[in-house]
Amino acid sequence: MAQNLQPDRLYVLDRGFARYELMQQIIDAESNFVCRLHDVADFDILEETKLDSDSLQAGICQDMIVRLGCKSVRDDWKNDCGPEP
Protein backbone atom coordinates (compact mmCIF):
# COMPACT_ATOMS: atom_id res chain seq x y z
CA MET A 1 0.00 0.00 0.00
CA ALA A 2 2.80 2.43 0.90
CA GLN A 3 4.15 2.35 -2.67
CA ASN A 4 0.77 3.47 -4.09
CA LEU A 5 -0.02 6.43 -1.81
CA GLN A 6 -1.26 9.58 -3.52
CA PRO A 7 -1.79 13.15 -2.26
CA ASP A 8 -5.20 14.57 -1.36
CA ARG A 9 -6.74 11.21 -0.44
CA LEU A 10 -8.49 9.85 2.63
CA TYR A 11 -7.30 6.34 3.43
CA VAL A 12 -9.40 4.08 5.63
CA LEU A 13 -7.33 1.64 7.68
CA ASP A 14 -8.37 -1.25 9.87
CA ARG A 15 -6.54 -2.68 12.86
CA GLY A 16 -4.48 -4.96 10.62
CA PHE A 17 -2.94 -1.90 8.94
CA ALA A 18 -2.58 0.23 12.09
CA ARG A 19 1.18 0.72 11.80
CA TYR A 20 2.64 4.09 12.76
CA GLU A 21 5.15 3.87 9.91
CA LEU A 22 2.33 3.56 7.34
CA MET A 23 0.39 6.38 8.98
CA GLN A 24 3.46 8.62 8.75
CA GLN A 25 3.88 7.68 5.07
CA ILE A 26 0.26 8.72 4.43
CA ILE A 27 0.91 12.07 6.12
CA ASP A 28 4.14 12.46 4.10
CA ALA A 29 2.12 11.82 0.91
CA GLU A 30 -0.05 14.82 1.93
CA SER A 31 -3.12 12.70 2.57
CA ASN A 32 -5.18 11.81 5.64
CA PHE A 33 -6.42 8.61 7.21
CA VAL A 34 -9.16 7.20 9.39
CA CYS A 35 -8.23 4.14 11.38
CA ARG A 36 -9.95 1.70 13.68
CA LEU A 37 -7.37 0.88 16.36
CA HIS A 38 -6.91 -1.96 18.81
CA ASP A 39 -8.59 -1.41 22.18
CA VAL A 40 -5.16 -1.13 23.84
CA ALA A 41 -3.89 1.66 21.55
CA ASP A 42 -2.37 4.57 23.48
CA PHE A 43 -3.67 8.02 22.52
CA ASP A 44 -4.60 11.41 23.91
CA ILE A 45 -7.94 12.96 22.92
CA LEU A 46 -7.41 16.42 21.39
CA GLU A 47 -11.00 17.05 20.36
CA GLU A 48 -14.26 15.11 20.63
CA THR A 49 -17.37 15.91 18.62
CA LYS A 50 -20.79 15.38 20.14
CA LEU A 51 -22.71 12.94 17.96
CA ASP A 52 -26.09 13.88 16.55
CA SER A 53 -29.07 11.50 16.50
CA ASP A 54 -28.38 10.41 12.89
CA SER A 55 -24.82 9.41 13.81
CA LEU A 56 -25.99 7.51 16.88
CA GLN A 57 -28.66 5.76 14.83
CA ALA A 58 -26.01 4.76 12.29
CA GLY A 59 -24.06 3.04 15.09
CA ILE A 60 -21.22 5.56 15.40
CA CYS A 61 -19.82 5.39 18.93
CA GLN A 62 -17.28 8.22 18.99
CA ASP A 63 -15.85 10.95 16.77
CA MET A 64 -12.46 12.16 18.01
CA ILE A 65 -9.25 13.78 16.88
CA VAL A 66 -6.40 12.15 18.79
CA ARG A 67 -2.64 12.21 19.16
CA LEU A 68 -1.52 8.61 18.62
CA GLY A 69 1.03 6.62 20.53
CA CYS A 70 2.69 6.78 23.90
CA LYS A 71 5.04 9.72 24.43
CA SER A 72 8.17 7.83 23.32
CA VAL A 73 6.56 6.74 20.01
CA ARG A 74 4.73 10.03 19.50
CA ASP A 75 8.05 11.91 19.53
CA ASP A 76 9.09 9.90 16.44
CA TRP A 77 6.32 11.39 14.29
CA LYS A 78 7.85 13.85 11.83
CA ASN A 79 4.83 16.12 11.39
CA ASP A 80 3.03 18.20 13.97
CA CYS A 81 -0.38 16.62 14.49
CA GLY A 82 -1.77 19.34 16.72
CA PRO A 83 -1.09 20.87 20.13
CA GLU A 84 -0.01 18.87 23.12
CA PRO A 85 -3.00 18.12 25.35
- Does residue 27 fall inside a structural domain? yes
Question: With 0-12 CB in 10 A as exposed, 13-18 as middle and 19+ as buried, what is 74?
Answer: middle
pLDDT of 5 strictly over 90: yes
Task: Say whether pLDDT at 81 is over 60.
Answer: no
Q: Which residue has the higher pLDDT, 17 or 9?
A: 9
* Whether pTM exceeds 0.85: no
Q: How confident is the model at residue 83 (pLDDT cuts 50, 70, 90)?
A: very low
**How many domains does the structure of the chain reveal?**
2
User: Which domain range does residue 32 map to?
Assistant: 1-40
pLDDT digits (tens, 9 = 90+) for 12-61: 988 666 678 888 899 999 999 888 877 788 888 999 999 999 999 999 99
Of 62, 59, 60, 68, the residue nearest 49 (C-alpha): 62
Is there a single domain that holds both residue 32 and residue 57? no
Q: Are residues 36 and 47 in the same domain?
A: no
Q: Helix and strand tally (H, E) in the chain?
A: 3, 4
Residues 28, 8 share a domain: yes
Q: Check: CB of residue 28 under 8 Å from CB of residue 7.
A: no
